[in-house]
Chains A and B, each alone.
Chain A
Amino acid sequence: MSTFDWVTQLIYVLAASCFVFGLHLMNNPATARRGNQASTAGMAIAIATTLAIVIHLGGISVTGWIVMLAGALLGAGAGLYSARTVQMTAMPQLVSMFNAVGGGAAALVAVHDYMHAGATVSATTSVTTLLDVIIGAVTFSGSLIAAGKLQGVINSAPVTFPGARIVNLGLAAVAIGLGAYLIAAPSTALLGIVIIAALAFGVSMVMPIGGADMPVVISLLNAFTGTAVAMAGFVIGNWALIIAGALVGASGSILTKLMADAMNRSIGNIIVGGFGTGDAAPAIAGPGGSVHSIAADDAAIQLAYASKVIIVPGYGLAAAQAQHEVAALADLLESRGVEVSYAIHPVAGRMPGHMNVLLAEANVPYPQLREMDDINPEFARADVALVIGANDVTNPAARRPGTAISGMPILDVDQAKSIIVIKRSMGHGYAGIDNELYVDPKTSMYFADAKKALTDLASAVKTLVG
């Protein structure tokens, strides 16, 4: 091993340390920005080192330089533009696109290596090469479909057809079976078929998954991308890729598990799909009772004279893009001395932690954004719980067995002294069952679009108690 190899390898270790340290600093919102800077520095070092290696290796043609630099500049420009212009509500789509290109690039690294090595490739290298190609291709097409569903370009409802599961299994079998055969008998043409089967599997895997399951799907695809990048590291023998890929794989796996737990579903159940079609869960009758609706003025008075208000934002708030309106109402209440906090369920929004970003964008200070386990004991002390576009995650039916959501962790909204629910209609949530919270005598329903309701509430507070 030459001195050059020693130095570059040590620099890669330094870069990898920066990634770990950067992630470590993300355990607190106060230090998270420094974490991102540490990680960026690590990446800059790693890329500069790679450039030095490319020069040191020599043998790169002029065309090679041109395609590499042109590709990198084009990609960097596109990445920079989308990162600067993306709306915070569209973050899940962007993350999905980055998963897609990351997985795609990892697969291409292996494809090139395989074609370059030809028949001389060793069996152990073949295994990681094929894993990289298959996982990378599945991530690429699956993430594109997920982004399309999130953007509304592709039907976000579960898209399925008779025998879809057979097709799914068939494609997986072709990709894996043929991949295994290729380890024994290398063939570039057959590799093409493996790629096509893996791409098709990515599509058929994500199509039947409904929009509400997206937090799990994005996390899972994130874990896949990480794994694909780690495999690319095995293929080209680069530890920086292995370490970085493993870190991302770990992060994606943790988030996938957290999201699935918060939705009370197993990962397998989500991937198999079919849930959320509306007919999957027969409604189990709750205790019954009548619904009490409320007008803006009465709701405003309740809020203005409360000493503690907990706001429960749900997917409906994000869909109505009412994060700025809710923050304005909260500011108004706080200026009257009301203590306001936000109770955030883990699956509020369309990706892990999405609601926090939306509220942070609306200038809500993060100490007010409280996690479920942290805020649940405080509901009993709240004068008003204001539920905006959240449904299943507030349903007390989850506490007893025998319902579609039994066992799902919920926010203890029903413990508050009074409850105001802003909702467009009595329609069911994602689980398709009645919400027992709505018939609670303490609950008042305010039927309106979240954005309009919050604006009306704020102006009613101003007029009535100015």
Chain B
Amino acid sequence: MSYPALLVDVTIFVLSLWVGFEVISKVPATLHTPLMSAANSIHGIVLAGAMLIAVTAHNTIGYIIAFVAAAFAAANVVGGYVVTGRMLKMFRKRPAVPPPAATHAVEAASNGRPKDGSA
């Protein structure tokens, strides 16, 4: 038994939405900006669509559309991944270079979160 393509597409779309809700609702607020930026890079997949335009483009308007779409989508995908990586690199568990006077606090932090009155 085979189903019309649109029905299959709708099924995939709806199930993917649910997977998205499930996975993304677990992302902590701390990471919401990198999350949005990562989502941004994922929609850069539209580059695949832009590339396929070029196959059927055979007149000036077609070429212009193919060019602009490829440029937009490539900017989206490359920029998105690079900036997400740049942001995530900044999230550290403890300061990269502890200031000399702060060794105390760093030691305390490495033994778990300092409790009230650890001073």
Chain A: residues with CB nearer than 8 A to chain B? 15-16, 19-20, 22-24, 26-30, 32-33, 35-37, 39-40, 43, 46-47, 50-51, 53-54, 57, 59-61, 63-65, 67-76, 78-80, 82-84, 86, 88, 91, 94-95, 98-99, 101-102, 104-106, 108-109, 111-113, 115-116, 124, 128, 218-219, 222, 225-226, 229-230, 232-255, 258, 307-308, 331, 334-339, 344, 346, 349, 351-354, 356-357, 360-361, 363-367, 369, 371-372, 381
Q: Residue B46 contacts which of A24, A33, A241, A361 (CB distance < 8 angstroms)?
A: A241
A104-B27 in contact (CB<8A): no
> Once the chains are docked, how many angstroms separate the CA of A269 from the CA of B19?
29
B71-A250 in contact (CB<8A): no
A-B CB pair tally, cutoff 8 Å: 429
> Once the chains are docked, how many angstroms separate the CA of A249 from the CA of B92?
29
Number of interface residues of B (CB under 8 A): 99
B43-A244 in contact (CB<8A): yes
Q: Residue B9 contacts which of A101, A219, A242, A381 (CB distance < 8 angstroms)?
A: A242
The smallest C-beta distance from A346 to any residue of chain B, in angstroms, reads 6
Residue with the greatest number of chain B CB neighbours at <10 A, chosen from A80, A94, A251, A307: A251
Given A23-B23, A70-B67, A366-B92, A39-B46 contact (CB < 8 Å): no
Q: Please give, as numbers and ranges, the residues of chain B lying within 8 Å of A249 by CB-CB distance.
A: 17, 20
A29-B71 in contact (CB<8A): no
Q: Please give, as numbers and ranges, the residues of chain A lying within 8 Å of B40 by CB-CB distance.
A: 95, 98-99, 102, 222, 225, 248
A112-B31 in contact (CB<8A): no
Q: Which of B4-29 contact A (CB under 8 A)?
A: 4-6, 9, 12-14, 16-21, 23-29
Given A61-B58, A255-B32, A27-B27 contact (CB < 8 Å): yes
Chain B: residues with CB nearer than 8 A to chain A? 4-6, 9, 12-14, 16-21, 23-58, 61-97, 99, 101-102, 104-105, 109, 113-119
Q: Residue B75 contacts which of A22, A78, A252, A366 (CB distance < 8 angstroms)?
A: A78
B29-A346 in contact (CB<8A): yes
Q: Residue A75 contacts which of B38, B73, B92, B105 (CB distance < 8 angstroms)?
A: B73
A353-B51 in contact (CB<8A): no
> Once the chains are docked, how many angstroms separate the CA of A2 from the CA of B69?
29
Q: Please give, as numbers and ranges, the residues of chain A lying within 8 Å of B48 by CB-CB distance.
A: 46-47, 50, 238, 240-241
